[in-house]
Structure 1
Amino acid sequence: MTDELRVVRAGFAPIKGTRHLAYDRVELDAQGAVGDRGLALVSVDPADPARGRVLRTVQNPSLVAVRAEVVGDGLDVALPDGQTASAEPVATGESITCDYWGREVELELVDGPHAELFSTWLDRPVRLARARRGDVVFAGSVSVVATASLRDLAERTGQEALEAARFRPNLVVETDEPYAEDTWLGREVRVGGATLRIGVPIPRCAVIDLHPETGERDVRVLKTLATHRPLNRAGEPAFGVFAEVVTPGVVG
C-alpha cells in the first residue's frame, strides 16, 4: 500500500538562483517539477574567473531578490528596483558547456531582454541559457521538506517560523514528528496525482542563511543545523530529502 502525504506548498524557480515561488499547481514528470531551473545564468566576461560556470546562488545572493516566472511561452522577470522584462526567450543556435558544481552541462544560449536586465543587476555581463530537462538536477529529481522539521528548526534558531522558500523545496509535506522523513528511504508515497520514491537526505549549504525574498544573510540556519543533524563528508548538514518520480502527475 502506498501512503499519501498532504502537500502544503509546491514550488520552484524557473531560473536557477532566483526567488523560489509557490504555485497552486505543479506538474511532476520523470525529471521532476516541470519548469524547475529550466533556465540558468552564465558569465560571458573573458576576465571573469567564473566564466563558463552556471552562476551559483551562494556566490550571487542578490539573485534571490529577483522574481522570475514563466507565463505561457514568455518569461517575466522583475527586479526589486522596479525594472522588468517580459518576452519569450529565443534560441540562438549557440550552445555552451558549463561547469555546474563540478559537473559539465551543455546549455543552449537564448536571446531576449532578460540578459541585459540581469547583467545590470549583477554588475557583470551574463547570458541566459536553457538546460535540457533533468540536466541541472544532480541528486534526485524532487526536493521534499517536512513541516515538523521546519517547526523544530525555527525553534532552535529562535524564530517564530522559518519560511519554507529558504530551503527551495519542490514540495512541503505535513508531518507531526520532526525529521521523520529521514526514515522514509525507499518508501513510495502519493502526492496529489503523482507517486514518489523517497531517496537520500539533502545536504545543505549557506544558501539557507539567505532571506528568501531579499537574499540578505539574516538567520544562521546552517550553523544551527550542523549542531544536531547528520553531516556528509563535506561537513554539510542534512535537511529534507530527495525523491524520484515513479508516477508522473499534478500536485495542487
Structure 2
Amino acid sequence: MRIDTMYRYPVKGLTPEPLTHAELRPGRAIDWDRAFALAQGDSRFDPATPAWRPKTEFLCLARNIEAAQLTARFEPATGILTLIAPDGAALDAEPLTAAGRAAITAFIADALPGAMRGTPQFVYVDGHSFCDHDGAVISLIGMPSLQSLGDAAGAPRQPMRFRANLYLTGLEPWEELTWIGRTIAIGDARLRVTERINRCAATCVNPETRQRDANPVKELMDHFGHVDCGVFAEVLEGGRIAPGDSIRLLS
C-alpha cells in the first residue's frame, strides 16, 4: 500500500491544495488543513474559547453550494490567502491578522451574499482545526473503494468529492473501513485509525463543474448498506510523509 496523492484544505469548504509532502505532528492535523473558516452569524464558535462546532455553523459545501464557486490558495511562507470569486474578482489578504480577516469576511459576503446568515466572521485560532470531526485528525480513503462506488453507481465518482487528506492505492476495496483501532506506519510516522467517515451532501458537488450532479450518500446506502467512505486517523508519532510513501498496517 502507498500514498497516491495528498491534499490540504486551508479554508473549510473551499478548494483543495495538493501537497508534495507534509510534516506530521502528534495530535495535530496536517499543517494549515481547515485552519480557517467563515463562521455564520448564527454560529456559536468563540475564538476566545475555541471548541468544535458543527459544520453547518460555518460556510460549508453540505449547506452552501455557492462555496464551490470560490477558489482559495494559502501561502504559509508569506501568510497570504488568495481568494477568487465567481466573477473573477480576487483578493490577497493576511488571515493571521484581524484586518486581513475583516477584509476576507467582506469579500466572501460580497461574492456569496445568498450563502450568508446574519453577520459572518472569518476565523482563525492557532492550532485549531475546523474539521468535521471533533478532534485534530487526518482523513484517508482507498482509491479502490472509490472505484467500487463508481462501478456500482454506473459512473466515476471523482476522488475530490470526498475531500480527503490522503488517497491510498494498493489495498482492497473498502479495506480501510476494517482498520478501526489499528495503527498504520508511514515512514517514521504512526497513525491510529479511529473511525469511519459518515458522508454528507458535500459529496454531491462535482469538484470539476462545481455543481451538484450526483448523490454518493444515497449510492453508498443503496449499494453497500452504509454511508461510510474513508476513515479518520490521529497522529501518534510524527514524521515526514509524501506521495509514493509505503503504508504498513501494524499488528
Q: Please, what TM-score do these two structures have when normalized by structure 2? A: 0.79
Judge conservation of contact 1:115–1:127 (CA < 8 Å) in 2: yes
Which one has a larger percent strand, Structure 1 or Structure 2? 1
Return the match for 1:219 from 214, 224, 227.
Answer: 214
Match of 1:104 in 2: none
Match of 1:55 in 2: 59
Structure 1 gaps, min length 5: 45-49, 93-108, 232-236
Q: Could you tell me which amino acid in structure 2 is paired with residue 211 of structure 1?
A: N
Judge conservation of contact 2:69–2:210 (CA < 8 Å) in 1: yes
Return the match for 1:241 from 225, 231, 243.
Answer: 231
1:81 to 2:87 alignment = yes
Match of 2:240 in 1: 250
- Distance, in Å, in 2 between the alignment partners of 1:131 and 1:76 is 19
Judge conservation of contact 2:102–2:121 (CA < 8 Å) in 1: no
Cα RMSD between the aligned structures?
Answer: 2.2
Structure 2 residue matching 1:115: 3-state secondary structure: helix
Q: Please, what TM-score do these two structures have when normalized by structure 1? A: 0.79
Q: Could you tell me which amino acid in structure 2 is paired with residue 222 of structure 1?
A: V
Percent identity for Structure 1 against Structure 2: 28
1:150 to 2:133 alignment = no
Deviation digits for residues 42-87 of structure 1, max 9, x if unmatched? Answer: 234xxxxx45532232111221232212112111112232111112
Q: Could you tell me which amino acid in structure 2 is paired with residue 158 of structure 1?
A: G
1:207 to 2:202 alignment = yes
1:66 to 2:59 alignment = no
- CA 1:39–1:213 in 2, change beyond 3 Å: closer, same or farther? farther
- Distance, in Å, in 1 between the alignment partners of 2:225 and 2:231 is 13
Match of 1:229 in 2: 224
Structure 2 residue matching 1:32: 3-state secondary structure: coil
Q: CA deviation at 1:175?
A: 3.0
- Distance, in Å, in 2 between the alignment partners of 1:213 and 1:132 is 31
Match of 2:51 in 1: none
Structure 1 residue matching 2:37: 3-state secondary structure: strand
Q: State how 1:2-81 maps to structure 2 within 5 Å.
A: 5-29=1-25, 30-44=27-41, 50=42, 52=44, 53-71=57-75, 72=77, 73-81=79-87
- Distance, in Å, in 1 between the alignment partners of 2:16 and 2:123 is 18
Which sits farther off after the overlay, 18-27 or 217-226? 18-27
Match of 1:106 in 2: none
Q: CA deviation at 1:169?
A: 0.3
Structure 2 residue matching 1:33: 3-state secondary structure: coil
Structure 1 residue matching 2:223: 3-state secondary structure: coil
Match of 1:136 in 2: 130
Return the match for 2:192 from 194, 197, 216.
Answer: 197
Match of 1:181 in 2: 176
Judge conservation of contact 1:90–1:112 (CA < 8 Å) in 2: no
Q: CA deviation at 1:228?
A: 3.2
- Distance, in Å, in 2 between the alignment partners of 1:219 and 1:122 is 23
Structure 2 gaps, min length 5: 45-56, 243-251
Q: CA deviation at 1:14?
A: 0.6
- CA 1:84–1:180 in 2, change beyond 3 Å: closer, same or farther? same
- Distance, in Å, in 1 between the alignment partners of 2:208 and 2:124 is 24
Which one has a larger percent helix, Structure 1 or Structure 2? 2
Match of 2:48 in 1: none
- Distance, in Å, in 1 between the alignment partners of 2:232 and 2:134 is 7
Judge conservation of contact 2:86–2:111 (CA < 8 Å) in 1: no
